[in-house]
Amino acid sequence: MIYAISSFAQKETESAKPTFGVELERKVAFAVIENDSYEDVVVELKAADLVSLLDGVKVTVKYAKTGKKIYKKRFSKSYLYGFSNGTIQVGKGNTLTQVVITKSTYNGEWIMELKEKGIY
């Protein structure tokens, strides 16, 4: 199976405010994490509470079949954004996107790109 992920920020005119105190899980068919590719993974995102001493978003990626962790990190001073089309982004405001989970236009499966230093 061949997938292509193109980096993007939400291109629509839709804007979103950061989400706090939310935990979500999304099954992803194909993920690129710092230039390494993975298939059939589960991404868990946990956004800190608004009044929490911890800040940022905790990102954990596991293989769907075995549950073995591939990646785990807290992105401090980053926020979780959700858009009406189902796209999820983690980033620092409108300028730096670190995680993008979006639906493929090719086959409708969820795909993800993660770059700690940002996607441009």
Which sequence spans correspond to the domains of the chain? 23-119
Statement: residue 28 has pLDDT above 60: yes
User: Which of 115, 119, 120, 111 is CA-nearest to residue 31?
Assistant: 111
User: Cα-flanking dihedrals φ and ψ of residue 9, to 5°?
Assistant: -100, 165
CA 67 to the chain's CA centroid = 18
Q: Quote the pLDDT of residue 71.
A: 97
What's the whole-number average pLDDT of the chain? 86
Mean pLDDT of 79-92: 92
Among candidates 84, 81, 98, 83, which has minimal Cα distance to 34? 98
Give the Å distances, CA to CA, from 25 to 22, 96, 101.
10, 22, 11
